[in-house]
Structure formats: C-alpha cells, structure tokens
C-alpha cells in the first residue's frame, strides 16, 4: 500500500511541477504542494522497515513513473479523432520534454534516497529516539536536493537565475513546513504500524 501511494504521489507531483505558482509572495513549483507526501511515506517506510526496504519501494515507484511517462507519450503521439479539438492542450500537459523527464526522475531518486539514508543513520545514532528531529532533518536535506536538482535541470538558462534560486529555496521551505505540520499524524501512523508489526529495524546502509 505504501508503495502504491508513493508511486501515485510521484506521478501527480511531476505533472503539477510544470507550473510555477506564486502564493503569498513565494514562487515555487506547484508539485511542491504534494511532494512532501512522498517524503512522509519514505519516512514511515524507513522508520518501520529500514533503509533497504525503503530503497526497494523508491526504485519500484520510479519504475512506475517510467511506465507512466512511456504510456503518456504513446497516447500523445496517437492521431486524435477529427471531432476532438484538444490535442494541443492535451499534449502540453502530458508531453515530457527530455530535460523535464530526466529532472523529475533524478530529483525524486536523489531526494528520496537521501531522505531515507539520513533518517536511517540518525535512527541508529539516536537509538530510535527523537523521531521529530530525525524526520525534520532528513526532510530538509531530501527536499533541498530534490528542488535543487529539478529546478536546475529544467529552468537553468531559461529563466533568470534569481527565479531559479527562489524556486529552489521557497520550494524547500514550503515542502519542509508542510511535512512539519503533518509530523504528528506521521508519528501516529508510525506508532500504529510498529505496534502492528511487532518489530523495529535498525539497519546499516547497504
């Protein structure tokens, strides 16, 4: 179930990230509103099942994104019916330019793996204590790397440098704040799953 939710969040996030929005003076990719769900699910998976299993789920979700991208390009390329006049709008939303596809894939992989890696390392160091501190620290690192990779690949040289940097910083701050706001819920889910599983994994990285 976690893997399904992670894959769905990844696909939706990448579709929404095409649009830069400005809310309350902050400029960021619209996908930032949903991407924290990916890291929350990553935190839960790493906390309960360990880094190795979290890594497997992350890679599986990335494969689902590849499949979605492939199918969407095939559908876009199919000739539209003569009575259907929305091909351009449809292609605008679902076409993946190579830089965007590479950016989304690389950003997700680097952001998720770094988030899970830091979460796992800190869990071992603090012997399972300080969940809120560990989740927040791993989120900041994961979100910063995700935003930096995506916006640098997609927008560098196409818009002003200060806009790119603003999107990276604001996106990181926004996504981190969203995750901090839902940390109590994340903690409750973790506690319930730990109780249901009856085990807690402290793994090395490998």
Query: For residue 190, is it within any domain?
Result: yes
25 belongs to a structural domain: yes
Tens digit of pLDDT for each residue in 50-100?
Answer: 888 889 988 988 888 888 888 888 998 999 999 988 998 888 777 766 777
Domain-embedded: residue 169: yes
Domain count, the chain: 1
Separation of alpha carbons 90 and 147, rounded Å: 26
Is 83 a member of any domain? no
The answer as to whether 101 is a domain residue is yes
Residue 84 in domain: no
Looking at residue 102, which CATH number applies to its domain? Answer: 1.10.1760
Record the pTM.
0.77
Work out whether strand 26-29 and strand 20-23 pair parallel, antiparallel, or are unpaired: antiparallel
Q: Is residue 204 part of a domain?
A: no
Whether residue 202 lies inside any domain: the answer is no
Structural domain containing residue 140: 2-77+93-197
Q: Which residues contact 74 (CB under 8 A, 6 or more apart)?
A: none
Residues 140-180 pLDDT 10s: 998 899 889 988 888 877 778 888 888 888 888 877 888 88
């Amino acid at each position: 179930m976690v893997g399904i939710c992670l894959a769905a969040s990844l696909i939706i996030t990448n579709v929404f990230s095409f649009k830069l929005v400005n809310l309350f003076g902050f400029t960021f990719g619209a996908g930032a509103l949903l991407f924290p769900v990916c890291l929350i699910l990553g935190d839960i998976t790493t906390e309960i099942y360990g880094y190795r299993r979290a890594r497997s789920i992350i890679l599986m979700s990335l494969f689902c994104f590849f499949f979605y991208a492939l199918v969407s390009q095939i559908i876009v390329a199919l000739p539209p019916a003569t009575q259907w006049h929305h091909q351009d709008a449809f292609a605008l939303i679902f076409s993946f330019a190579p830089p965007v596809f590479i950016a989304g894939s690389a950003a997700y992989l680097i952001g998720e793996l770094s988030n899970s890696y830091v979460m796992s390392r800190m869990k071992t160091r603090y012997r399972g204590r300080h969940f809120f501190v560990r989740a927040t620290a791993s989120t900041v690192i994961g979100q910063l790397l995700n935003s930096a990779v995506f916006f640098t690949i997609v927008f560098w040289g196409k818009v002003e440098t200060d806009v790119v940097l603003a999107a990276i910083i604001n996106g990181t701050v926004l996504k981190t704040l969203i995750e901090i706001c839902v940390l109590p819920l994340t903690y409750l889910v973790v506690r319930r799953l730990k109780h249901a599983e009856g085990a807690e994994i402290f793994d090395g990285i490998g």
